[in-house]
Amino acid sequence: MSGYDYDLFVIGAGSGGVRASRIAAGHGARVAVAEEFRVGGTCVIRGCVPKKLLVYGAHFAEDLNDAAMFGWDVPVKRFDWNVLRDNVLAEVTRLEGLYGQTLANNKVETILERATIAGPNLVRLASGRTVSAGKILIATGARPFLPEVEGIEHAITSNEVFLLETLPKRIVIVGGGYIANEFAGIFHQFGSHVTLVNRSDTILRGYDQAMRDRLLQISIAKGIDFKFNASFRSIEETEDGTLHMTMQGCDDLAGDAVLFAVGRKPNIDNLGLEQAGVDVGERGEIKVDKANRTSVPSIFAIGDVTDRIQLTPVAIREGHAFADAQFGNGAAEIDYGCVPHAVFSHPPIASVGLTESDARNRFGTIKTYTSDFRAMKNVLAGRNERSLYKLVVDEATDRVVGIHMIGPDAPEILQAAAIAVKAGLKKADFDATVALHPTMAEELVLMR
């Protein structure tokens, strides 16, 4: 037994922190985790989970419309935001309880207060108590970044969007990334008029160009307005509650809500990093080595606060590997290759491996195969929305090095296909696989 109060003190009970805590405790470590807000972190409380539930809710708009062509007479089509919001928030609270239970079941002490670093082995709690730990893990995540714009206090972020009192009739969404495109789809389906504003002339930088173009084309056809190369001068609230936005690069805008989704910043403010000697990078990220160790040997960091890949499953892997390496006999490093990712837009995009342009830069000669089709369900429904799948193949080895998809259920389909890319399978292996008919996924093995 060490002379410390705990073997491990984790700051932040999000996905990564919870995983690290329970795995370390499973290895016999005495573990405490501090959380200043709610157990579960961004993903569970105000990120992936409630967002996905809103995406499901939003889908009903199309499904109810399409139902008529499938013989269903659905007379009532009124959407009640308050019902969905409250049900989603209740589900979040249920999950929060389950996360807390998991920690307790694994004998992790949960301390519901803010914790900061007071030294290489010392943590100060908001209540004034100081505790010692053999190792400290920082898993404080990230938060939405808000640029300096006059009247920015009238804007909301993804933190507040789940709590809106009423559904905005007109919403302006700022940014062209994950959150902006996901909420553009959600609010559009709920019946809001959506204007998406981005500083550049592109959306979803980093995704395959063809998928981005297709999402943009479908979104415009649905009625979402896009303003590119535009930025904000000021936001003012008028007497009737309307927000007036003075713009540069496009006409001024009016809306009932403005949602900023222009990236996220690591949560490092007033954590005591400087005094403890923990090095921080230019983007505010905590610098760590491959074993998640910071510049102070007893202090580690995982997840979004390290700004490597800002995805929940990555933070979970990092937390698990950290705990296995420090308290068990496991490997400290994780494999960041071929991490699949998805944008839950309408329709969703899913991707794994290299984009066509990245592959071309890496390998020189590549081959691409595409399937541009209308899903069977869309055809009968009279929905003129086409899906696009693309395989990127290294010509020299025949290996499939990237798969990119936009269309219904693309993320569900891609998860299985990502195994093939990760395993280094060849195009010939895809060709040799018999199609599962009739599905959308069969397109993956039918591209010639």
Q: Give me the residues that bind ligand NDP (CB under 6 A), please.
A: 147, 175-180, 182, 198-200, 202, 205, 261-264, 310-311, 341-344
State which residue, 81 or 183, has the beta carbon closest to ligand NDP.
183
Rounded least distance, CB 47 to ligand NDP, Å: 7
Which residues are CB-contacts of 152 (< 8 A; sequence separation ≥ 6)? Answer: 146, 235, 260
Rounded least distance, CB 341 to ligand NDP, Å: 6
- Burial class of residue 269 (count of CB atoms within 10 Å of its CB; 0-12, 13-18, 19+): exposed
Rounded least distance, CB 261 to ligand NDP, Å: 4
| Closest among 441, 353, 334 to 399, alpha carbons compared | 353
Nearest residue to ligand NDP on Cβ basis: 177
Q: Is 27 a catalytic residue?
A: no
Q: What single letter denotes the amino acid at residue 324?
A: D
State which residue, 54 or 103, has the beta carbon closest to ligand NDP.
54
Answer for the pair 331, 325: CB distance below 8 angstroms, yes or no. Answer: yes
State which residue, 85 or 212, has the beta carbon closest to ligand NDP.
212
Rounded least distance, CB 174 to ligand NDP, Å: 7
Residue 26 CA: distances (Å) to CA of 98, 169, 250: 18, 50, 56
State which residue, 122 or 417, has the beta carbon closest to ligand NDP.
417
| Closest among 287, 302, 268, 14 to 136, alpha carbons compared | 302
| Closest among 280, 261, 272 to 179, alpha carbons compared | 261
**Distance in angstroms (rounded) separating the CA atoms of residues 340 and 13:** 24
Q: What single letter denotes the amino acid at residue 185?
A: G
Rounded least distance, CB 181 to ligand NDP, Å: 8
What is the three-class DSSP state of 89? helix
The single residue of 244, 320, 404, 437 carrying the catalytic annotation is 437
State which residue, 326 or 345, has the beta carbon closest to ligand NDP.
345
Hey, which residues are catalytic here? 437
